[in-house]
Amino acid sequence: MDTRRALLSALESGPVSGPSLADELGVSRAAVWKAVEALREEGFAVESGDDGYVAPADPAYCAAGIEFGLDAPYAVEYHEDLPSTNDRARALAAERGADVAVVADAQTGGRGRLEREWVAPSGGVWVSVLTRPAVSPARAPLFTLAGAVAVADACREVGVDATIKWPNDVLVGDSDGGDGGNGRDGGNGRDGGNGRDGGNDEGRADPVDRGGRKLAGILTEMEGEADRVSWLVVGIGVNANLDPETLPAGATSLRAERGGDVDRRRFLARLLERYADLTADPDAILPSWRERTSTLGRRVRVETPGGTVVGRAVDVEPPGALVVETDDGRRRIHAGDCEHLRDAG
Ligand code: BT5
């Protein structure tokens, strides 16, 4: 372990004496001091007390702040702004990097699927996780679903009742369609200021009513060899401490839904921990995803590369294909844009 990491993990359990840490690690005291200074420069405000170095009470949203106490096997690379965290993660992949979470406070060239624009101002959670999982490329879609589950769980932990729309959107307020369990009143009403009355719906009736307000999106990119993923980047964007007015129509944010900001450091740590847990056991991903989706049981319209499919979504099958019951029989859809429809009558 390098001195920085050792220092960070030692700080988790209380004050750290510089000389004893130096002895423990077999490095010079100057090396420990340099590591302390480097953390401070990153924004992690290590204090000096009588018993040695002490972690800040409320660490900032920075690399060391996010890594501090993180129970997930990723190094964090933090940037104030980047064109796209996915682009940076891909560059790291080209340099043989692995197990890195690239985080930016703002993105100037955020990307959605199919080269769509992703609006990513300062205040959101924009992260791309680079891993090299020992799975076949065909199983890669599972990791997108794991990202969506991780986001939904992290959102629920801060009081926002988020559901997943196949394959990669995390929504709030997706009530139509008779699934009954995740409606506008579905437990995210803490402050009473969200949803229809939240002041962010005006002029957006269409996307808002059609399938909920979009809180987060996921963009997965990978390179595969014959039967093994070479690298995989799961890029996750969550509208955290943002005003919906600054986002595209139909979007919402954690701030708007819960009526207050979240601690992005803790939120992101939970998200990364969930993602790490889920991807450590890929067989458990689909069952978790099914529990959190609002797509199954709904009538859907899916724009696929091979045309439009309309019918009822009945299941998701490995590695993430949507099964739609249409008038002409069952269709398995591997990729596409899915819209939730109102039930006729
Ligand atoms: C997505 O694409 O939903 C994937 C978004 C992935 C963003 C993350 S942020 C970290 C990482 N770095 C990147 O550069 N990207 C990833 P898609 O399903 O194609 O949806 C894109 C559409 O969502 C756009 O065409 C807009 O209509 C809408 N949109 C754009 N920005 C949004 C936002 N901040 N919130 C909600 N909707 C947005």
Q: For residue range 29-53, list pLDDT tens digits in order.
A: 999 999 999 999 999 999 999 999 9
State in Å: Cα 11 to ligand 1 middle: 37
Q: What is the pLDDT of residue 176?
A: 56
Instruction: Name the band, by pLDDT with cuts 50, 70 and 90, for residue 194.
Output: very low
57 vs 176, which has greater pLDDT? 57
Query: Above 70 in pLDDT, residue 149?
Result: yes
State whether residue 75 is helix, strand or coil.
strand
Q: For ligand 1, atom 2, name the residue with the nearest CA.
A: 112
Instruction: Ligand 1 pocket test: pick from 118, 143, 204 the residue with the most ligand atoms within 8 Å of its Cβ.
Output: 118
State in Å: Cα 251 to ligand 1 middle: 10
State in Å: Cα 134 to ligand 1 middle: 28
State in Å: Cα 225 to ligand 1 middle: 28
Query: Above 80 in pLDDT, residue 137?
Result: yes
Q: What is the pLDDT of residue 208?
A: 36
Query: Above 80 in pLDDT, residue 217?
Result: yes
- The CB-side HSE value for 74 (13 A sphere, CA atoms) comes to 32
Q: For ligand 1, atom 29, name the residue with the nearest CA.
A: 118
> Model's pTM, two decimal places?
0.90
| Tokens matching residue 185 | 């009143």
- Around ligand 1, the residues with Cβ closer than 6 Å are 84-86, 107, 110-114, 116-120, 126-128, 168-169, 214, 217-219, 235-237, 239, 247-248, 251
Q: What is the pLDDT of residue 189?
A: 35
| Tokens matching residue 106 | 């703002």
75-82 and 321-326 beta bridge pairing: unpaired
Closest atom of ligand 1 relative to the 110 alpha carbon: 14
State in Å: Cα 111 to ligand 1 middle: 6
Query: Above 90 in pLDDT, residue 213?
Result: yes
Instruction: Name the band, by pLDDT with cuts 50, 70 and 90, for residue 190.
Output: very low
Closest atom of ligand 1 relative to the 104 alpha carbon: 10
Find all residues with CB under 8 Å of 116, minimum gap 6, and list them: none
Share of the chain above pLDDT 90, in %: 85
State in Å: Cα 147 to ligand 1 middle: 14
Find all residues with CB under 8 Å of 143, minimum gap 6, and list them: 133, 220, 232, 234, 279
State in Å: Cα 170 to ligand 1 middle: 11
Least trusted range by pLDDT, from 85-94, 197-206, 252-261, 315-324: 197-206
Which residue reads 């944010």 in tokens? 253
183 vs 158, which has greater pLDDT? 158
Write the single-letter amino acid at 305.
Answer: P
pLDDT tens-place string over residues 243-286: 999 999 999 999 999 999 999 999 999 999 999 999 999 999 99
Neighbouring-strand partners of residue 213: 172
Closest atom of ligand 1 relative to the 111 alpha carbon: 14
Q: For ligand 1, atom 37, name the residue with the nearest CA.
A: 251
Q: What is the pLDDT of residue 343?
A: 77
Instruction: Name the band, by pLDDT with cuts 50, 70 and 90, for residue 174.
Output: confident
Residue 217: phi, psi to the nearest 5? -140, 160
**Crossing angle, helix 141-157 and helix 285-292, to 10 degrees?**
50
Between CA 148 and CA 292 the distance in angstroms is: 9
pLDDT tens-place string over residues 53-107: 999 999 999 999 999 999 999 999 999 999 999 999 999 999 999 999 999 999 9
State in Å: Cα 112 to ligand 1 middle: 4
Q: For ligand 1, atom 15, name the residue with the nearest CA.
A: 111
Instruction: Name the band, by pLDDT with cuts 50, 70 and 90, for residue 210.
Output: low
- CA distances to 2, 8, 15, 45 from 32, in Å: 10, 11, 14, 15
Cβ neighbourhood burial of 310 (10 Å; 0-12, 13-18, 19+) = middle
Task: Tell me the pLDDT of the chain averaged across its residues.
Answer: 90
Closest atom of ligand 1 relative to the 116 alpha carbon: 25
pLDDT tens-place string over residues 218-243: 999 999 988 999 999 999 999 999 99
Q: For ligand 1, atom 16, name the residue with the nearest CA.
A: 235
Q: What is the pLDDT of residue 187?
A: 35
Chain centroid, CA 293 distance in Å: 16
Query: Above 50 in pLDDT, residue 345?
Result: no
Between CA 296 and CA 293 the distance in angstroms is: 7
State in Å: Cα 130 to ligand 1 middle: 18
Between CA 15 and CA 35 the distance in angstroms is: 15
Closest atom of ligand 1 relative to the 86 alpha carbon: 12
Closest atom of ligand 1 relative to the 124 alpha carbon: 34
Query: Above 60 in pLDDT, residue 177?
Result: no
